[in-house]
Amino acid sequence: MPNIDTILSLLKKYYPDPIIALKSKNSLELLVATILSAQCTDTRVNIVTETLFKKYRKAKDYAKADLKAFEQDIRSTGFYHNKAKNIVGAANKILKDFRGRVPETMEDLLELPGVARKTANVVLYNAYNKNEGIAVDTHVTRVAQRLGLTKNSVPEKIEQDLMSQLDKKEWGPFSLRLIWHGRQTCHAQKPKCLECFLKGFCSYYG
């Protein structure tokens, strides 16, 4: 595997202050937006949540939502049957077991319907500034594989590979930096290899 320190320093240079693309004002909105983002672009999610977050403001609003109506509210994000069921289920769990507040630990977040490690990591870092792991989405997977930072394709194993090479304080921002690089340069189709500042480390380019 290449030395991740050089890659990290370059990523910090080009993406000094990475922020999550999903728009939210609190941990509940971020949780909902992240669940909606599965198999959907962040741009589409932000369009949907602009209206959604005005209609549903607290966990109890989601918990008592009419499932069919809620499905229509989020329909354009795709897989809306499962997403609606998970969001309503998560809200009920938050009310019942966590006093109406989105939990702040990996263990508790993973108890919520529709929440796996990626979503939990997103919420923990971006809402609570906690580095419990590395959020692995399609961008992180693609860029990490092309840079030779992992040979795995399973998100949990990719996460472990990356965590083992980085200081814990870098986990959250590293994920955001790879996501931005995947969006702007290292596209799945027709990546901008010639203008990529990481091409010297890249197996795809080589």
- Length of the chain (residues): 206
pLDDT at position 88 is 98
The model's pLDDT over 133-185, given as tens digits with 9 standing for 90+, comes to 999 999 999 999 999 999 999 999 999 999 999 999 999 999 999 999 999 99
The answer on pLDDT for 2 being more than 90 is no
- Among 42, 73, 93, 137, the active-site one is 137
The model's pLDDT over 70-104, given as tens digits with 9 standing for 90+, comes to 999 999 999 999 999 999 999 999 999 999 999 99
Residue 1's pLDDT band (cuts 50, 70, 90): low
Distance CA(189)–CA(127), nearest Å, equals 32
The answer on pLDDT for 29 being more than 90 is yes
pLDDT at position 162 is 98
- What average pLDDT does the segment 11-38 reach? 98
Residue 137 known to be catalytic: yes
Residue 199 known to be catalytic: no
- Among 42, 73, 93, 118, the active-site one is 118
What does the CA dihedral 69, 73, 78, 81 come to, rounded to 10 degrees?
Answer: -20
Distance CA(68)–CA(38), nearest Å, equals 20
State the pTM of this model. 0.95
Four-residue CA torsion sign, 113, 99, 108, 172? positive
- Residue 67 class from Cβ within 10 Å (0-12 exposed, 13-18 middle, 19+ buried)? exposed
DSSP secondary structure code for residue 57 in this structure: -
CA distances from 146 to 97, 186, 195 (A): 42, 9, 16
